[in-house]
A and B are shown apart, each in its own frame.
Chain A
Amino acid sequence: MTDIHEDPVFGTDASTTRLPLGLGMGEAVSPLELVAVPEGGESTQGGGMFVQIGRVFIQNKLAVVGLIIIVAFVLFCFVGPLLYHTDQTNQQAVLGTVENGAPQPGHPLGTDSTGFDILGRLMYGGQTSLIVGFASAFVATVVGVLFGATAGFFGGSVDAAMMRFVDMLLSIPILFLLIAMVTIFSSSEVLIILIIAFVSWLIPARLIRGETLTLRVREYVQAVRVMGGRGGRIVGRHIIPNSVGTIVVFATFQVADSILLLAALGYLGFGIPAPGTDWGSMLSAGADAAGNGWWWEIYPAGIAIILVVVALNFVGDALRDSLEVRLQRR
């Protein structure tokens, strides 16, 4: 715990950091919702709420570890190439290097079947994996939240029609649809981001719609209605803020899932087209040589995928615990 207290963002006050989960949090829950609704005054308490969320988050050591891993990988992939120069796109430039070379001076993680340096390739492919992961999760979350909140708020036949559409797309096993689409359209990084987002916005839509259905009959939403609050205000100021836990947690997990989805596409040979690469495509190339004992072509990319995905899941779970106010009160 000691290292955690020195965190610059959430203060060094050890006495508050050590508080058990349930203490000092009661005022942030439903009484506030009831009282504050007329002025929409939750925002005045915002700082306090975020500090409390941060406090619970920071108490979760796994989450701190996860956050450190993610930051480390982002630095590794985007700052790393500035310090460790390798050529990852020009096959001519690596003609002289040994192919499938074991780790050696000059190539700390060996070389792949073309002769590209694997440490450098891990950074280069990692950029693609991280960009695709974060970008498609962002697109998916925004679309899904708006769609789900709208459907849940209106209810009735609008809701039924919108959710049948979601059901329809959700019923299709994603990879089959992805492969059908990638076979028909030629693939590029932007297209893959959009295709992954296209199959991923459905889950948040369903989650937020469900949340909205329960939230819209709550007393404080009815109070807004009675006072003449319109749909946009109810959705924007009450339903979405109250669903923010679900949204943030989903988005975190979705980054992980998008990275995995891209890796799966890469493994099956439908990923980022050459000369680009991603961790999944690297793994695929390595797995082809699984029988040769060239471990350095499998483990670096595999471990990178697992570490990033696990780290994102740690953070997502901690966020879930710290945002789920009801759980803190027990």
Chain B
Amino acid sequence: MTGFIFRRCVQAIIVILGVILIVFILSQLIPGGECKAVNGPKATVTFCRHWNVLNGYSQPLWVQFWHYIIGLPHLDLGYSYKRTQPVEAVIAEYLPKTLVLVGTATVIALIIAIPLGILQVVKRNTPADYGLTALSFIFYAMPPFLLGTLLIIFFSFDHHLLPSQPPSDASAWAVFTDPRAFIMPMITLCAITIASFSRYMRSSMMDALAEDYIRTARAKGANQRVVLYGHALRNALIPILTLIGLSLPAIVSGALITENVFNYPGMGYLTVQAAQNDDIPLVLGTTLVITIATVFGSLLADILYAVADPRIRFGRATA
């Protein structure tokens, strides 16, 4: 068990190193190089040569990569010339808000989606199942920016019930202290997540019900309740655990859109602003930080997966 978790942690570190490499490669692919990205397209060749030497961009790539890596533990993510601020300082301000938004939305989505999925299996092929399936299809298909826009039109413009964006000075914890402004972003982010989680829950439950051990349980005379909750549910929850880990990047992507619809000052909002300003060091910095945060979240889900399903541990050990 501890061996499995240790291996998983090592893998997470390798994944993070790989992501750092990808971000570093992307930073090398900027047309015209870092110099033009920072100083604008009009920077001359001589100026850039001088600037590159001054800022260490004339060194061999592996030296630059090494400096990039050893800078990371000191939270040195580069410098945003557009904002004249270190990238890490900007991110420190925006990251907590995204973590709170994503964390809260994931928990709410799970709390709602798992019972919904079970309900659909219990009421399989009844109007309730069809109705919920139709709803989850619509919310799954509804782009978050469309849902967000419709919510704003209805609740803010037409009925003046909720503010269309949170106050700009709100802290990350304002979600809990003053939730009014966060209701719509939360609904927007949860809707797609609930739709996909409950759909997976339904099919996971259906898969479990098709297994041989269910037939055995039925043959032994177990009633529907025992079969559903004693046998099927416990096995159906295992794929859901991996699903959380797998879905986290998608939820974070969803948060990017949601933040932009509601001008919620998190990492997604920051990234789009930075991209529109061609502030590439900041775009790469946010991509790296949000990815590392996501890797930690997925690692947690994987550890839970191992705890829940000894078959996986056994399978990996022999593979």
Query: Hey, which bits of chain A sit against chain B, CB under 8 A?
Result: 155-156, 159, 164-165, 167-177, 179-185, 203, 206, 213, 256, 260, 263-264, 267-270, 280, 283-284, 287, 290-291, 298, 302, 305-306, 309-310, 313-314, 317, 320, 324, 326-327, 330
Query: Cβ of A171 and Cβ of B294 under 8 Å apart?
Result: yes
- Report the tally of A-B residue pairs with Cβ distances under 8 A: 149
Closest to B157 in A: A291
Q: Which residues of B contact A264 (CB under 8 A)?
A: 143-145, 253, 257
Q: How far is the CB of B313 from chain A (nearest CB, A)?
A: 14
**Interface hits, B235-260 → A, CB 8 Å:** 246, 249-250, 252-253, 256-257, 260
Query: Cβ of A159 and Cβ of B319 under 8 Å apart?
Result: yes
Query: Cβ of A283 and Cβ of B146 under 8 Å apart?
Result: yes
Closest to B14 in A: A164
Q: For the complex, is B206 an interface residue (Cβ under 8 Å from A)?
A: yes
Query: Cβ of A310 and Cβ of B137 under 8 Å apart?
Result: yes
Q: Which residues of A contact B256 (CB under 8 A)?
A: 173, 175-176, 179
Q: Which residues of B contact A175 (CB under 8 A)?
A: 253, 256-257, 268
C-alpha spacing A215/B252, complex, angstroms: 33
Query: Cβ of A171 and Cβ of B145 under 8 Å apart?
Result: no
Closest to B29 in A: A184
23 contacts between A and B (CB under 8 A): A156-B319, A168-B15, A168-B22, A171-B249, A174-B253, A175-B253, A176-B287, A179-B256, A179-B275, A184-B31, A206-B246, A260-B143, A267-B145, A283-B143, A287-B146, A291-B157, A298-B146, A302-B143, A302-B150, A306-B142, A306-B146, A310-B137, A326-B210
C-alpha spacing A213/B276, complex, angstroms: 44
C-alpha spacing A171/B251, complex, angstroms: 12
Query: Cβ of A180 and Cβ of B143 under 8 Å apart?
Result: no
Q: Apart from A164-B11, A168-B19, A179-B283, what 15 extra A-B contacts exist at CB < 8 Å?
A: A172-B22, A172-B287, A173-B249, A173-B294, A174-B250, A176-B291, A180-B23, A182-B275, A184-B29, A184-B280, A269-B276, A270-B275, A283-B146, A305-B146, A306-B146
The verdict on A179 contacting B319 (CB below 8 Å), with A164-B11, A287-B145 known, is no
Q: How far is the CB of B30 from chain A (nearest CB, A)?
A: 6
C-alpha spacing A20/B203, complex, angstroms: 21
Main secondary structure of the interface of A (DSSP, over half): helix
Query: Cβ of B26 and Cβ of A176 under 8 Å apart?
Result: no
Query: Hey, which bits of chain B sit against chain A, CB under 8 A?
Result: 11, 14-15, 18-19, 22-23, 26, 29-31, 133, 137-138, 140-146, 149-150, 152-153, 157, 203, 206, 209-210, 246, 249-250, 252-253, 256-257, 260, 267-268, 271-272, 275-276, 278, 280, 283-284, 286-287, 290-291, 294-295, 298, 315, 319
Query: Cβ of B257 and Cβ of A171 under 8 Å apart?
Result: no
C-alpha spacing A104/B252, complex, angstroms: 42
Q: Which residues of B contact A270 (CB under 8 A)?
A: 275
The verdict on A283 contacting B145 (CB below 8 Å), with A171-B249, A175-B268 known, is yes
Q: Which residues of A contact B142 (CB under 8 A)?
A: 306
C-alpha spacing A317/B291, complex, angstroms: 31
Q: How far is the CB of B217 from chain A (nearest CB, A)?
A: 14
Q: How far is the CB of A316 from chain B (nearest CB, A)?
A: 10
The verdict on A172 contacting B149 (CB below 8 Å), with A167-B15, A320-B203 known, is no
C-alpha spacing A314/B283, complex, angstroms: 37
Q: Which residues of A contact B206 (CB under 8 A)?
A: 327
C-alpha spacing A159/B316, complex, angstroms: 11
Query: Cβ of A181 and Cβ of B26 under 8 Å apart?
Result: yes
C-alpha spacing A179/B318, complex, angstroms: 40
Q: Which residues of B contact A176 (CB under 8 A)?
A: 252-253, 256, 267-268, 271, 286-287, 290-291
C-alpha spacing A206/B203, complex, angstroms: 18
Q: Which residues of B contact A305 (CB under 8 A)?
A: 141, 143, 146
C-alpha spacing A183/B271, complex, angstroms: 11
Interface centre among A176, A264, A291, A306 (most CB of B within 10 A): A176
Query: Cβ of B257 and Cβ of A313 under 8 Å apart?
Result: no
Query: Cβ of A306 and Cβ of B138 under 8 Å apart?
Result: yes
Q: Which one of A172, A174, A185, A290 contacts B152 once the chains associate, using CB atoms below 8 Å?
A: A290
Q: Which 5 A-B pairs have the closest CB atoms?
A: A309-B141, A175-B253, A173-B252, A168-B18, A173-B249
Query: Cβ of B146 and Cβ of A170 under 8 Å apart?
Result: no
Q: Which residues of A contact B18 (CB under 8 A)?
A: 164-165, 168
Query: Cβ of A171 and Cβ of B298 under 8 Å apart?
Result: yes
Closest to B206 in A: A327
Q: How far is the CB of B161 from chain A (nearest CB, A)?
A: 15
Query: Cβ of B272 and Cβ of A330 under 8 Å apart?
Result: no
Q: How far is the CB of B54 from chain A (nearest CB, A)?
A: 23
Query: Cβ of B271 and Cβ of A179 under 8 Å apart?
Result: yes
Closest to B149 in A: A287
Query: Cβ of A330 and Cβ of B143 under 8 Å apart?
Result: no
Closest to A324 in B: B210
C-alpha spacing A114/B267, complex, angstroms: 32
Query: Cβ of B146 and Cβ of A302 under 8 Å apart?
Result: yes
Query: Cβ of A177 and Cβ of B278 under 8 Å apart?
Result: no
Closest to B267 in A: A176
Query: Cβ of A267 and Cβ of B257 under 8 Å apart?
Result: yes
Q: Which residues of A contact B280 (CB under 8 A)?
A: 183-184
Q: Which residues of B contact A306 (CB under 8 A)?
A: 138, 141-142, 146
Query: Cβ of B278 and Cβ of A183 under 8 Å apart?
Result: yes
Q: Which one of A156, A172, A287, A314 contacts B137 once the chains associate, using CB atoms below 8 Å?
A: A314
Interface centre among A172, A270, A313, A330 (most CB of B within 10 A): A172
Q: Which residues of A contact B144 (CB under 8 A)?
A: 264
